[in-house]
Amino acid sequence: MRTIRVAAAQSGPIQKAEPRDDVVRRLVALLEEAARRGARLVVFPELALTTFFPRWYMEEETDVLAWFEPSMPSPTTRPLFDRARELGIGFSLGYAELTPEGRRFNTSILVDERGEIVGKYRKIHLPGHVAYDPDRAFQHLEKRYFEPGDLGFPVWRTLGGIMGMCICNDRRWPETWRVLGLQSVELVMLGFNTPSVNSQDSAEGPTQRLFHHRLSMQAGAYQNATWAVAVAKAGVEDGHALMGGTLIVDPNGEIVAESATLEDELVLYDCDLDACRFGKQTIFDFARHRRTEHYGLITSRTGARPPD
């Protein structure tokens, strides 16, 4: 067996006023606890260093850029990298990336046990809107503050397996999973910040949003015979509720571990990467069963339209 103990490191709310140094200390504490419990890989949420700032409309460029990281590791995040290297543990981390050219992305990086960045993914399926919407209780301005990712859906051989990443809304799109699956991915890491209906939503409450979240993760994992790790930012953040739902799904689509709170919490599981083989060699043996000559609409058309 090729088993890797994975720690899904859910984050409780990060308030707008919380200093980034304090957030990094919380992440380091979760990393250290994960290492004590035998994990080799820690998965942190989307935009793990800040509150979910796209809920606010900002016109001034300086106000927007305050939420972004122009380098990684940055001076603020260096302690997380250093501690990971000392402990010999890998991690993935979501953050707002500012490139040297001034481009902005919703990004996740993969760091190996040496503390080195070995992979980067930029969120492709950006939800929300660009302009201020006066009819909304809160804004969802990812399309205003980020560009769609330009790196595709890469995978990496590291930590003993074939690893991939995606972010939040990507989980709802089957194309995300299939492109990763066509590269024989064995473990997909995903961070998310998903609003909840009310402040009482949690992994224990069967709300429709949690149902759709679980459905997307389970279907994606099963249909591509891969492990899937989804990690939430949860709780009431600056008066806005984010749902929990941190979970780990096996290659058969079964949820094998799930969070119980809306706070900082570790969800651990021993993921046998060899468990992917059966699905990849039987039901989802792509080389034998896929019929690409019939799939042209997937890449030739974006919007749906009925027949003439």
pLDDT tens column, 159-217: 999 999 999 999 999 999 999 999 999 999 999 999 986 544 444 455 889 999 999 99
For residues 88-124, one letter each, b for 16 or more C-beta atoms within 10 angstroms of the residue's C-beta and e for the rest, the string is ebbbbbbbbbbeeeeebbbbbbbbbbebeebbbbbbb
Domain membership of residue 64 (yes or no) is: yes
pLDDT tens column, 230-270: 999 999 999 999 999 999 999 999 999 999 999 999 999 99
Residue 20 binned pLDDT confidence (cut-offs 50, 70, 90): very high
Q: Give the residue, 269 or 138, on which the prediction is more confident.
A: 269
Q: Does residue 69 carry a catalytic annotation?
A: no
Q: Does residue 46 carry a catalytic annotation?
A: yes
Residue 90 binned pLDDT confidence (cut-offs 50, 70, 90): very high
- How far lies 302's CA from each of 250, 277, 298, 305, in Å? 31, 33, 7, 9
Domain membership of residue 169 (yes or no) is: yes
Q: Which two tokens stand for residue 277?
A: 């083989």
Domain membership of residue 305 (yes or no) is: no
Pick the catalytic residue from 69, 142, 168, 271.
Answer: 168
- Phi/psi at 54 (5° precision): -65, -5
pLDDT tens column, 107-130: 999 999 999 999 999 999 999 999
Pick the catalytic residue from 46, 97, 258, 265.
Answer: 46
Contact 261, 244 (CB under 8 A): yes
Domain membership of residue 12 (yes or no) is: yes
Residue 135 binned pLDDT confidence (cut-offs 50, 70, 90): confident
Q: Rounded to the nearest 5 degrees, what angle is found at the Cα of 170, between the Cα atoms of 164 and 176? A: 55
Q: Got the DSSP string for 82-96? A: HHHHHHT-EEEEEEE
Domain range for 192 is: 3-300
When divided into structural domains, the chain yields a total of 1
Torsion of CA 143, 149, 150, 151, to 10 degrees: 180
pLDDT tens column, 265-305: 999 999 999 999 999 999 999 999 999 999 999 999 999 99
Q: Which two tokens stand for residue 281?
A: 């060699």
Q: Does residue 120 carry a catalytic annotation?
A: no
pLDDT tens column, 67-84: 999 999 999 999 999 999
Which residues are bridge partners to 278 per DSSP?
none
Domain membership of residue 306 (yes or no) is: no
Residue 15 binned pLDDT confidence (cut-offs 50, 70, 90): very high
Domain membership of residue 16 (yes or no) is: yes
pLDDT on residue 197: 66
CATH of the domain at 35: 3.60.110.10
Q: Give the residue, 138 or 18, on which the prediction is more confident.
A: 18
pLDDT on residue 136: 83
For residues 141-155, one letter each, b for 16 or more C-beta atoms within 10 angstroms of the residue's C-beta and e for the rest, the string is bbebbbeebeeebbb
What number of other Cβ atoms are within 10 A of residue 206's Cβ?
Answer: 9
The reported pTM is 0.95
Residue 137 scores a pLDDT above 90: no
pLDDT on residue 201: 45
Pick the catalytic residue from 123, 166, 258, 271.
Answer: 123
pLDDT on residue 202: 47
